[in-house]
Structures are given as structure tokens and as C-alpha cells.
């Protein structure tokens, strides 16, 4: 079989079109993706409220690896590869739990929560525990959000963290708690999962529920962020939301917009007339979060990169992570946050909080796998993006750029 020549594929790309088939499932391309793209990113692993106390941990699975995210005795959160330094056994078997120390179940090598090796029985005299701490994974926190990177030099985006923080802080993300989590392993290449999320061209045919929650013009012009739709619609929409923006400013709520590399950006916009929050009927689904004292009916979007997002209403927020596992498998996780003091049953019902995105992400999993099946056909050829898929153009350009640079 002829091997895939990746640079030839990169160069054969036609602007405005989808990628060549090998980019959407070839295992060799996936290896290159890891090295040039995925290992350089900070990946959202979850919210700090999953590990409130020392010893609390959960496993984050990415690109065939398992990372133990654990709160140490020092209060810091650590990220360790789930691989014993003795003979390589998995140390944690359960997806989440609480441990006083990380003890390998095989030979009982015992690691401190910070990953250092505390004790290994019967080792030769010249053995020193100092050299055998768990392999560490890079980790950073951003107002309650845990990010990890598999690479040695993850790229920091100038200004993104600081800019985000204004929104994260106003929404009280750090002190939020998890109302619900949803895991949707999706049988598709990560790029198809991403491309599905960054355009709203499919909203009308595929997402009737989502489309009933957002205004028609918003879906068309800004369904995947400001500027994701046709130019004329964008101009019309920006004019239309001027009044809302003035009200928001009057309330003292933030409105800063930002655009960064890697698909990162942040923006606020109204949901639709009469909707206070992104819920089935627009009515509140929990108590106001963070610094909100009254509803402004807006939704805050933060893209940390092309794979990780936040969509925050005034009374709840959703974290989205699209985590590559292998060339044809991507883990999709949604985490719904509410105010830490909100009481389940009294203040919120997890089903009402999660309704819009629960039904939408379920539909997305099906259409994305359906997309992957067709893309694997020998007759698939790159096709042209519509005017409502502007972000897909940015994404393919960015992705191919990552592959071009050394």
C-alpha cells in the first residue's frame, strides 16, 4: 500500500473546502496530529469541584493515555500518568475516587499524592526513591478549570487567560459546582467533532430543540460565534443586539470581546427575546451565579481553543471538551455548572439545567458518526463550505498551518 505523504496532502488542500480523507481518520496522520497539534495544546480536563479534598482524584483519558488528576495534601492539584514506575502497572483502576496515597495494586509501590515515591519495598541498595516519582503531566488552573498538556512546551496564548478571567470570575466559575456530567464517546476523528461544533449550518436540519431556544438571526449570523455566518446577516445581527448591549452595559455586566490563536475567543450575546437563560422556555433553571444580581438574558461564549469551550448563561454554565482518543474515537464530555450554594431539588433540577445541550449533543454524536462513515468512502472528495461555515475555514487553515511549521 502506498503510504500517505502528509506534506503533499497539506499542499493539495483547496481553500474553502473540507480536508482530504486521510486527515479524517488515517492513523499515521493521527500520530502527526499528536506531535504537531494536540500535544501543544492545553486540554480542559474538568472542574476543580471534582477533587474538593486531598486524595480526591479522577482519570482523564486522552490520546491513549490515562492521567490521574488528584488533589494533594498541599491543596494543589496534580496530574500524573497512571503508570507505575516499577513495572508499568496501572495504579488507579476506578475512574474516580479518593485515596490517602497512590498505592500500586500490583507490588504496593506507594506514591505521595504529589507523585513522589514514598516507599518501595526490598529494592537493591543503590536504589533511590528520588528518581522514581510518577511521570508528571503539565497542569494549569484557570479560575476553577483544570487544563493539562501532554507535551513539554504547551503554547500559551498571549492574553487569553487574563481576558477570560474577567468572564470566568463574573460568572463565578471557580466557586461553582457540578449539576451533571455527560460522556459521549463518539466514533469519529476529532476534527469532524470539532468541525461539527464550530458551525450552525446544521442547526436548522439537525437541532430543532436548539433552534427553538435561539433566535433565527442569531443562529444564522452567530450560531458558532460572532462572524460564523454570512456577512450581511452578521452586520444585521450586530445592529440588532446594540440595544441589548446598552442594557448590559447599564447593568455593569462585562461585554469584552476577544480573539486569539488556536480558535480561542470570547464574546457575549443575547439568547433570544424574552429568554433569561439557555433553557427550554427561557425561564431560570437555577439561582444567579457569580456577580450577577439580575438576569441580562445573555450567553457568554469562551473558546479556550478549538477543542474546549464554555457557554455560560446567568444561572448556569456548560463546559464542553472534545478529547481525541484515537484516529476514529473522540471523547465528548459536557459538564453543567451551577452556583455552589444552589440546592438540587429546591433551586435546580439537573434535567432542566441540561435539557438544551443534552438533546443537542446526542444529535451531534449521531450526525458526526454518520459524517465519519461517509468520509471513509473511497468516493469522498473534499467539498465546499457554505457561508455559514466560516469558522471551518479558519479551523482548516489553522490546522494545516500547524502541520506546515517545523
Selected from 388, 396, 399, 402, the binder of its own copies by CB under 8 A is 388
DSSP H helices in 20-179:
27-36, 160-170
Selected from 371, 391, 395, 402, the binder of its own copies by CB under 8 A is 371
Query: How far apart, in Å, are the Cα atoms of 278 and each of 145, 222, 311, 315, 398?
Result: 21, 15, 9, 9, 30
277-305 b/e (C-beta count within 10 Å ≥ 16 → b): bbbeebebbbbbbbebeebbbbbbbbbbb
Phi, psi of 226 (to 5 degrees): -55, 130
Q: How far is the CB of 390 from its own copies (least distance, A)?
A: 11
Separation between Cα atoms, residue 168 and residue 178, nearest integer Å: 15
Q: Is 152 a binder of its own copies (CB under 8 A)?
A: no
Q: Answer whether 114's CB lies under 8 Å from 139's CB.
A: no
Q: Which stretch binds its own copies (CB under 8 A): 5-13, 58-66, 292-300, 304-312?
A: 58-66
Q: Residue 356 is placed in which grid cell? A: 438544551
Q: Is 224 a binder of its own copies (CB under 8 A)?
A: no
Phi, psi of 65 (to 5 degrees): -105, 155
**Order of all β-strands in the sheet with 176-186:** 176-186, 329-339, 317-326, 308-312, 298-305, 265-270, 258-259
The pattern of x and - marking residues 114 through 143 that bind its own copies according to CB under 8 A reads ------xxxxx--x----x--x--------
How many Cβ atoms are within 10 Å of 306's Cβ, its own excluded? Answer: 24
Q: Is 16 a binder of its own copies (CB under 8 A)?
A: yes
Residue 186: left (phi > 0), alpha (psi -120 to 50), or beta? beta
Q: Is 20 a binder of its own copies (CB under 8 A)?
A: no
Selected from 22, 49, 61, 66, the binder of its own copies by CB under 8 A is 66
How many residues contact its own copies, by CB under 8 A? 59
Nearer to its own copies (CB atom), residue 281 or residue 387: 387
Q: How far is the CB of 329 from its own copies (least distance, A)?
A: 15
Q: Is 254 a binder of its own copies (CB under 8 A)?
A: no
The pattern of x and - marking residues 79 through 118 that bind its own copies according to CB under 8 A reads --xxxxxxxxxxx-x---------xxxxxx----------
Q: How far is the CB of 275 from its own copies (least distance, A)?
A: 25
List residues binding its own copies (CB under 8 A): 1, 16, 18, 24, 28, 31, 64-66, 81-91, 93, 103-108, 120-124, 127, 132, 135, 195, 201-202, 204-206, 230, 367, 370-371, 373-381, 383-384, 386-388
Amino acid at each position: 500500500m502506498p503510504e500517505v505523504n502528509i506534506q503533499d496532502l497539506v499542499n493539495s488542500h483547496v481553500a474553502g473546502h473540507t480536508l482530504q480523507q486521510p486527515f479524517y481518520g488515517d492513523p499515521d496522520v493521527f500520530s502527526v496530529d499528536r506531535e504537531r497539534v494536540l500535544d501543544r495544546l492545553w486540554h480542559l480536563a474538568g472542574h476543580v469541584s471534582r477533587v474538593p479534598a486531598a486524595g480526591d482524584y479522577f482519570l482523564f483519558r486522552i490520546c491513549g493515555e490515562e492521567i490521574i488528576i488528584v488533589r494533594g495534601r498541599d491543596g494543589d492539584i496534580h496530574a500524573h500518568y497512571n503508570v507505575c514506575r516499577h513495572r508499568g502497572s496501572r495504579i488507579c483502576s476506578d475512574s474516580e475516587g479518593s485515596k490517602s496515597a497512590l498505592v500500586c495494586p500490583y507490588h504496593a509501590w506507594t506514591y505521595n499524592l504529589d507523585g513522589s515515591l514514598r516507599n518501595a519495598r526490598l529494592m537493591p541498595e543503590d536504589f533511590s526513591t528520588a528518581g522514581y516519582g510518577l511521570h508528571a503531566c503539565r497542569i494549569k488552573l484557570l479560575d476553577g478549570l483544570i487544563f493539562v498538556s501532554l507535551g513539554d512546551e504547551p503554547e500559551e496564548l498571549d492574553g487569553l487567560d487574563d481576558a477570560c478571567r474577567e468572564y470566568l470570575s463574573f460568572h463565578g466559575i471557580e466557586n461553582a459546582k457540578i449539576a451533571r456530567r455527560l460522556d459521549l464517546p463518539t466514533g469519529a476523528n476529532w476534527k469532524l467533532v470539532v468541525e461539527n461544533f464550530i458551525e450552525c449550518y446544521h442547526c436548522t436540519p439537525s437541532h430543532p430543540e436548539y433552534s427553538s431556544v435561539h433566535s433565527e438571526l442569531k443562529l444564522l449570523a452567530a450560531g458558532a460565534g460572532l462572524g460564523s455566518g454570512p456577512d450581511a446577516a452578521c452586520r444585521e445581527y450586530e445592529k440588532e443586539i446594540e440595544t441589548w448591549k446598552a442594557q448590559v452595559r447599564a447593568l455593569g455586566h462585562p461585554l469584552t470581546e476577544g480573539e486569539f490563536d488556536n480558535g480561542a475567543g470570547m464574546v457575549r450575546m443575547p439568547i433570544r427575546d424574552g429568554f433569561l437563560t439557555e433553557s427550554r422556555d427561557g425561564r431560570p433553571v437555577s439561582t444567579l451565579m457569580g456577580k450577577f444580581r439580575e438576569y441580562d438574558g445573555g450567553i457568554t461564549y469562551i473558546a479556550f481553543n478549538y477543542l474546549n469551550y464554555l457557554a455560560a448563561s446567568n444561572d448556569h454554565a456548560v463546559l464542553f471538551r472534545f478529547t481525541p482518543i484515537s484516529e476514529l474515537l473522540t471523547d465528548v464530555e459536557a459538564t453543567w455548572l451551577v452556583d455552589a450554594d444552589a440546592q438540587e431539588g429546591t433551586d435546580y433540577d439537573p434535567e432542566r439545567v441540561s435539557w438544551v445541550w443534552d438533546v443537542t449533543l446526542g444529535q451531534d454524536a449521531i450526525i458526526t458518526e454518520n459524517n465519519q462513515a461517509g468520509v471513509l468512502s473511497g468516493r469522498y472528495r473534499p467539498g465546499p463550505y457554505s457561508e455559514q461555515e466560516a469558522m471551518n475555514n479558519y479551523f482548516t487553515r489553522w490546522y494545516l498551518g500547524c502541520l506546515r511549521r517545523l
